[in-house]
Structure 1
Amino acid sequence: MAVEPENQQTNIKSGVVRLKFSQVDPYPNHPFRLYSGERLDDMVASISNYGILTPMITRIKDNGRYEMLAGHNRMNAGTLAGLDEGDFIIKENLSDEEAWMYVIETNVMQRSFADMLPSEKAAVLALRHSKMFSQGKRNDIIAELRMLENPQYIKEKSTSPLIGEKLHSDVQLGIEYGLSKNSVSRLLRIDKLTQALKGRVDASQIGIYPAVALSYLAEAEQQDIEKVLSENEFKVDMKKAEMLRSYSESSKLNEKTAYQILSGEVNKKPKSTTPSPVKIKHKVYSKYFPADTKASEIERIVDEALEWYFSSKVKEGTPK
């Protein structure tokens, strides 16, 4: 059981309860990777010494279990430190949109945007760009998260740039996050990919530009592409991505055509049934024809000679 310093404030007005980690499920399709390496090691060491100081935030699910909103890394590090329970604030009557804000804003406060993976940046920008974005609600959530981390936090500080005026357009988002308008647009498209394809973008297996093209495909089509990629070692370049999108727009994209495109089979030229052109060198035909022999005469004689040659072979029983 975690032991916290005596001066740690845990009696938040929303109420703090003790829950077993086994009662709490991760947020479905959580868009942020868990800490690893030195950052995880430092968190495990801190929790081993002091416990989990900041309560985690969860909401109750229809099946009676709990869904993590803020604290995936704390629970993971706590588990590695040997804990099996921790302090949680249980949020009630949250809409799915509000729950999503807790997930996103917690990670924005704890991570550098520049260090995020493409899919993580995409998730942040998609929230800021969406119609469900409520500046007033976001301000309240950020103020609550800051208060949990620092009980001396003064809510009046909520006029900081992080909370600032409502931003929606690609240009305004780019200014806030140090990105060009086009970069914002591309990341917003990345957010339309399935989780599996986002993972390939994050692992640099699919480039940003091909990923944007794939983002226009239906979810079922993206799943077909992932299935083909998972079973083969195909690469997705821009040409293939654009062809996949073209087939999708003409309702011709399925697992079979996806395989043909990704394998390069679509672009392979059929083998010719006729022999390649052959040029007879001068030193060869000059042994048999005078210098003034016309080309048409040479072609006639060569044709007759070949006909005689192959007919002779057939008579001898030799395959052509």
Structure 2
Amino acid sequence: MIEKRKVININDLFSDEEDLLESSDSGIKEIDLSQLVPFKNHPFKLYEGQRLNDMVDSIKEHGVILPLIVRADNNGKYEILSGHNRANAATIAGLERVPIVIKEGLTDEEAMLIVTESNLIQRSFTDLSYSEKARVLTEHYNAIKQQGKKVDLINELEKLSNADDLEENLDSCQFGTQGRSDKKVGDDYKLSARDVARYIKVDTLNESLKIRLDTKEIPFIAAVDLSFLKKDEQESIEGILKKNKFKVDIKKATVLKKLSQKRNLTEEKAFDILSGKYFDNPNKKPKSIKVKPKIISKYFSEGQNQKDIERIIEKALELYFSQSQEIENEDELEME
């Protein structure tokens, strides 16, 4: 009988070692950290700050208790599927060797599923960035559509990881196997089917635009619009943004998407849209619209001045057009 060990409050470091031995393909082994390589295009950011410091301190005291999940690559090394943060913290802590569980016979799709689901088990869904959420939802959506071995992998990951608090965490994923895929994923992550469709679409953005989304340079709904652009168009947008200090808002992203769909989006037009020049018309007089007094009195008090009223109307219109764009995106996503 192998003794079970736990590290209090460090959820990412421990598990039931008996379960690991029973469920692993080849048991637990120890290898040099130098033999490990990160998963290609690993979509998750490594821990920083206090969370990383806590992990390093715990590893210094207890070692790496929860083995990394890996698979052999073609160069004699092992590709990390689960445990990038443990490997990083172990390196900082000065360790030379870490325990691993080797998974064999995985397809690249199954390997990516382990990467995404193991990260979700260790973190709250709400802790992930926009692009990380998009990757997790896309992989989980594909798994639910195809079922079979992929769902078995998810179940094994729950067993391999410390999931004592999983049921209590409303943001964590509860895995299921029936029903419409996007609705099922939405139920699992407490999202609407519309939100799931948006995130899956956002996952098709190029990496540079995803970074701008994660750093909030691009609003989420605008990012959904940009994800409708072709790959070369997305690269052009990124190139323009990189050379200039233009901002992307919902209005600009909507126009970019519509021109792309009409196959009429050139780099010159994209520049004009992002710079704002596209919306300028020196010969066009601004529209003068009169609002009936009964509408003003219905929504505003006598004490409110014109500037306050204009500011409130402007915000209301921004909200209205933002919601209208969301509905339009939803319709287009459902037609895809």
The reply to whether TM is greater than 0.5 is yes
TM, length-normalised to structure 2: 0.69
Matched ranges for 1:17-166 at <5 A: 17-130=29-142, 133-149=145-161, 162-166=174-178
Which letter does structure 2 place at the counterpart of 1:234?
A: F
Query: What's the secondary structure of 1:48's corresponding residue?
Result: helix
Shift of 1:162: 2.3
Partner of 1:241: 253
Per mean C-alpha deviation after superposition, the further-off stretch among 241-250 and 13-22 is 13-22
Offset from partner CA, 1:119-162 (integer Å, 9 cap, x none): 2221122122227754332343234334434699xxxxxxxx82
2:185 alignment counterpart: 173
The whole-number CA distance in structure 1 between the counterparts of 2:244 and 2:163 is 53
Separation of aligned partners in 1, 2:85 and 2:120: 14
Aligned with residue 260 of structure 1, among 272, 289, 304: 272
- CA shift, 1:8, in A, is 5.8
Q: Distance in 1 between matches of 2:140 and 2:211?
A: 22
Say which one has the larger Rg.
1
Contact 1:129 1:168 in 2 (8 A): no
Structure 1 pair 249/142, CA: closer, same or farther in 2 (3 Å)? closer
Find the residue that maps to 2:148 and give its secondary structure: helix
- Cα RMSD (Å) of the superposition? 3.0
Unaligned stretches of 5+ residues in structure 1: 153-160, 273-320
SS at match of 1:130: helix
Pick closer, same or farther for the CA change 1:23–1:174 going to 2, 3 Å. same
| Corresponding position: 1:202 with 2:214 | yes
Name the SS of the counterpart of 1:230 in structure 2: helix
The AA in structure 2 aligned to 1:32 is F
CA distance in 2, matches of 1:141, 1:241: 38
Give how far 1:118 is off.
1.6
The secondary structure found in structure 2 opposite 1:248 is helix
Distance 1:146 1:132, change over 3 A: closer
Alignment match of 2:230 (pick from 197, 218, 224): 218
Q: Secondary structure at the match of 1:52?
A: coil
Structure 1 pair 182/164, CA: closer, same or farther in 2 (3 Å)?
Answer: closer
After superposition, the Cα gap between the structure-2 partners of 1:63 and 1:85, relative to the gap in structure 1 and judged at 3 Å, is same
Structure 2 segments unaligned to the other structure (5+ residues): 6-15, 165-172, 285-336
Query: Which whole-Å CA distance do the structure 2 matches of 1:23 and 1:255 have between them?
Result: 45
Sequence identity (%) = 43
Q: Does residue 269 of structure 1 match 2:281? A: yes
Which segment drifts farther, 192-201 or 14-23?
A: 14-23
1:194-242 alpha-carbon deviations (Å, 9 max, x no partner):
1221111111111111111100111221122112212221110111112
Secondary structure at the aligned position of 1:94 is classed as: coil
The number of equivalent residue pairs is 262
**Are residues 147 and 178 of structure 1, via their aligned partners in 2, closer, same or farther at CA, if it must alter by over 3 Å?**
closer
1:182–1:145 distance in 2 versus 1, CA, 3 Å: closer
| Change in CA separation of 1:254 and 1:43 when aligned onto 2, cut-off 3 Å | farther
> What is the one-letter code of the residue matched to 2:133?
K
Shift of 1:13: 4.9
Partner of 1:183: 195
Distance in 2, matches of 1:8 and 1:89, equals 11
- Per the TM alignment, residue 104 of structure 1 is displaced from its structure 2 partner at its CA by 1.2
Deviation (angstroms), 1:110: 0.7
- Aligned-partner SS, 2:281: coil
Distance 1:143 1:174 in 2: 19
C-alpha separation in 1, matches of 2:27 and 2:79: 17
The 3 A distance-change label for structure 1 pair 116 and 84 is same
Contact 1:70/1:103 (CA < 8 Å) preserved in 2?
Answer: yes
Give me the TM-score of the superposition, normalised by structure 1: 0.72
Cα offset for 1:30? Answer: 1.7
Q: For the structure 1 residues 83 and 227, does the alpha-carbon distance in structure 2 shift closer, same or farther, using more than 3 Å as the test?
A: farther
